Structure 1
Amino acid sequence: MRILLVEDDERLAETLAEALTDQRYVVDIATDGESGWYRVKALEYDLILLDVMLPELDGISLCHRLRSHGHTLPILMLTACDTISDEVTGLDVGADDYVVKPVDLQKLFARIRALLRRGSITGLPILEWGDLRLNPSTYEVHYGESPVHLTPKEYGLLELLLRNGRRVLSRSVMIERVWSLESPPEEHTVKVHIRGLRQKLKAAGASEDTIETVHSMGYRLSLPHCATGID
């Protein structure tokens, strides 16, 4: 899941981004409303965390612009003022919910999970590939009855692979979808994370070739009981 955080307080933005990353979200940061607008036009986000008071274009105006241009993704407003008028104004222009600063992280996480569930007709279905299961609602991964404990990046890569099945994903695509725009790694880093992911899946009982390398192209999930080469 990819979140756009539009917040001009750099310290707060970094703190929130780090906390959300620990919750397995990919987070991009924009420090003003206009930058946030261009980010939404360039990339597909699952949710926007939007401060009300922003330079260039304030949060209320950005929310109104997004809705007037047909963007339906959930918008969670951040406001420093706990007043009825602020809540009503945000909701009137299309915001789905709001959180008051200083931000209670557990409350923020709960609101985000609720909005992501509400934003999908089917909710967040469990992703399955043979005996491999990933629950996006709880961030739990199992192979058969065995839990698989993954780092945030390993989890993000596995979720991406499960959502694409036999579609080949290049390393550059994986970087674009799993890492934030502010900290893209070298492509070799993807190889390292894939290796670690394979080792953990194998330790849980999965086949060594569950994640298949397609030479010079990228990675995909292998067909059950299909022997393939790995890198």
Structure 2
Amino acid sequence: MDFDAYTGRWYNVYYNYPTLAFSQPDCATAYYGKITSAEFPAISVNNSGLCSSPNAIGCTGNPSTIDGGTATYILGTASKDDASTDGDLNLQFTGVPRASVYSIIKLGPKTYGAGYYEYAVVGGELFLYVLARDVDAYFEKYDDEVQDFLKDSGYKGFLLKPRKNNQDNCPDVIYEPNAFDASTPPPVLAADQEATSSSCTRDAYGKCVPAGCASYFDGCNTCNVGAVLGCTMMYCDKPQEPKCLAYIGETEKN
């Protein structure tokens, strides 16, 4: 698969019952960014959505009360342990002790925007997520073929059958980071040197962490810098400007 064409904003259009332990069906979205500093293919994960209440089952991220419900998000990484290009990754969320299987088992055509996948079917153990770039276009063009694929793959019965996500009247505040320009080619095709730099570690908003930075503020959370970022998990309605708090060998700045 083309991991670069997998990056950017996705909207969950289907889930199944086991996923309710980890996510809510309302306004669920994912934002994936390419981790260019990783040895093998890896993407940053920012899952966000809307819970009915802070204590609702599946509201496992960082709940924040807003008009219309409770916004939640959780950060993590999905990575491979070799250079193969199949869709089997290890998904590790920040604060969750055990990694889980994240398998991309079907992909739509790379015709969204400047060359991104139109949809993706993600399975892992008993879990199912169907992701779409454009919700209306997905149901108009691709839903029939995906439903046939899911039935043939055994996603049937009370536990495993696909259930439709609600993506209506979703508040803008849950979409973090907000910016995704599908008219810009995927990172590997971009002319911007920063987007293709192998030395660039990217934050949850897709911005490069300065080279040599040891402690970084991404505009919302403070992060320890390594091959991937280890960040606090605060929710921010309006992120500030990012900055390096301390370079290697320096004392952290306020």
With the length of structure 2 as denominator, give the TM-score of the two structures: 0.29
With the length of structure 1 as denominator, give the TM-score of the two structures: 0.30
- In our comparison, the structure showing a higher alpha carbon Rg is 1
Structure richer in strand, relative to its length: 2
Structure richer in helix, relative to its length: 1
Q: Tell which has more relative contact order, 1 or 2 (C-alpha 8 A, sep 6+).
A: 2
